[in-house]
Amino acid sequence: MQIKAPTTSDAPMWDLLMGNYTFACLMVSAQLDITGLIDGGFDTCEKLSNKLQLSRKGIYLFILLLQHLGYINVTRNQLKNTELAKQYLDRNSQYYWGEVLLDPFNIYNVNHLNKKILTSLKHEYELECRGRSVTDMWRHDEMDGDSAAAFTHLMHAQGFASAVSAVQNGAFSNIQTLLDAGAGSGTIALAFCDAYPERNALLFDLAPVCMTAKEYVDKFAKKKQISIVEGDFFKQDWPTGCDGVCFSNVLHDWKPDTSIELLSKAYAALPKGGSVLIHDMLFNITKLTPVLFSFHLFMNHGAQLFSLEELFQLLNQAGFENPQCHKALGYFAVVSAIRP
């Protein structure tokens, strides 16, 4: 024999190649609202393909895929949404991932991902919106209203579930008045005020983002508890009078020196005994998704995820003491520390 047999299986190559389709399938499922249709009684492949006027054979395979991905259960040809679909694919769920799945910024468009990866490895690529770097717009308070709204809805869709879990797990139980810095829609403040109806929160973000945040405060009927403060957290004075400052999915957008700058501003805004709380995905060198997300943040903002140890170090450098880690949802945690 002249041709040597392969020394290892090519299954991982196939897994990755076919895996390319997985998120795109979820996007299409959201576009077609498969979850809503099943819920509305179109609960066989036949009913779905008739309703949508789509290929029966195609729909059969597509449903099989969604079954493999954990979104649908099939018993005797009868389709049922799983908990995963009910929570994150149902348009009426508070945790609907629609804005992520519809991908308004083309962030996950596989057509340009290889170019994005290579460009960011050569020289720092940055996520752009209307031809401008999002990081620059944040740095210089130049975010336009439409981009701010789209980005804020997207962040809400992917972050609210963990924010609610973090608060309901007790990570914020000692705080009376919470400043949600770089609040976006106010995921943490909304969850906090819902869990503690006698307590209050302030949302602090750039003016165009605050317009969208107001919609969420109204939607969740939290006007009495939540005030909104428009401002640039790099240049403007921070609101005072809070005993807790939270950074939810904020530090991961910045390099370590900028993260220390932000933590120092939180330190200055807090009274002695006040708490800083970081709600974020933790970097974990042994897990693929946090490594991928860290690379994603590098590509979008030249930034990274921080590990628990790195967050403890940053907190220490900013003067905080007694760092602790609380569980949030999935890959997320809340890391807190006290201003001595």
Q: Which is nearer to ligand SAM, 66 or 250 (CB)?
A: 250
Q: How far apart are CA 128 and CA 137, in angstroms?
A: 10
Identify which of 282, 297, 285, 298 has the alpha carbon closest to the alpha carbon of residue 333. 282
Angle subtended at Cα 168 by Cα 204 and Cα 267, rounded to the nearest 5 degrees: 40
Taking CB under 6 A as the binding criterion, the range among 16-24, 80-88, 154-162, 317-325 that sits at the site for ligand SAM is: 154-162
Residue 66 beta carbon to ligand SAM: minimum distance, rounded to whole angstroms: 27
Q: Which is nearer to ligand SAM, 29 or 248 (CB)?
A: 248
Q: Which is nearer to ligand SAM, 48 or 245 (CB)?
A: 245
Place of tokens 């006290």: 338
Identify residues 213-272 at the interface with ligand SAM (CB under 6 A): 232-234, 248-250, 253
8 A C-beta contact, residue 125 and residue 115: no
Is residue 99 a contact residue for ligand SAM (CB under 6 A)?
Answer: no
The amino acid at residue 327 is K
Residue 200 beta carbon to ligand SAM: minimum distance, rounded to whole angstroms: 17
Residue 68 CA: distances (Å) to CA of 26, 61, 276: 12, 11, 41
List, in sequence order, every residue forming a beta bridge with 227; answer none if it has no partner. Answer: 202
Is residue 315 a contact residue for ligand SAM (CB under 6 A)?
Answer: no
Q: How far apart are CA 150 and CA 141, in angstroms?
A: 16
Q: How far apart are CA 301 and CA 97, in angstroms?
A: 22
Q: In this chain, which of 85, 155, 179, 314 binds ligand SAM, going by CB under 6 A?
A: 155
CB burial readout 141-168, b (16+ within 10 A) else e:
bebeeebbbbbbbbbbbbbbbbbbbbbe
Is residue 318 a contact residue for ligand SAM (CB under 6 A)?
Answer: no
Taking CB under 6 A as the binding criterion, the range among 35-43, 99-107, 113-121, 176-184 that sits at the site for ligand SAM is: 176-184
Q: How far apart are CA 337 and CA 207, in angstroms?
A: 29
Q: In this chain, which of 59, 127, 167, 182 binds ligand SAM, going by CB under 6 A?
A: 182
Identify residues 34-93 at the interface with ligand SAM (CB under 6 A): none
Q: In this chain, which of 202, 209, 260, 277 binds ligand SAM, going by CB under 6 A?
A: 209
Taking CB under 6 A as the binding criterion, the range among 45-53, 152-160, 164-172, 298-306 that sits at the site for ligand SAM is: 152-160
Q: Which is nearer to ligand SAM, 159 or 244 (CB)?
A: 159
3-class secondary-structure state, position 156 = helix
Is residue 138 a contact residue for ligand SAM (CB under 6 A)?
Answer: yes
Q: Which is nearer to ligand SAM, 50 or 289 (CB)?
A: 289
8 A C-beta contact, residue 38 and residue 80: yes
* Number of residues assigned to the chain: 340
Residue 11 beta carbon to ligand SAM: minimum distance, rounded to whole angstroms: 36
8 A C-beta contact, residue 250 and residue 190: no
Is residue 304 a contact residue for ligand SAM (CB under 6 A)?
Answer: no
Q: Which is nearer to ligand SAM, 301 or 339 (CB)?
A: 301
The amino acid at residue 220 is F
Q: Which is nearer to ligand SAM, 72 or 250 (CB)?
A: 250
Q: In this chain, which of 49, 187, 225, 300 binds ligand SAM, going by CB under 6 A?
A: 187
Nearest 10 degrees: Cα torsion 222, 244, 337, 174: -70
Which positions lie near ligand SAM, rule CB under 6 A? 138, 141, 152, 155-156, 159, 182-184, 187, 205-206, 209, 232-234, 248-250, 253
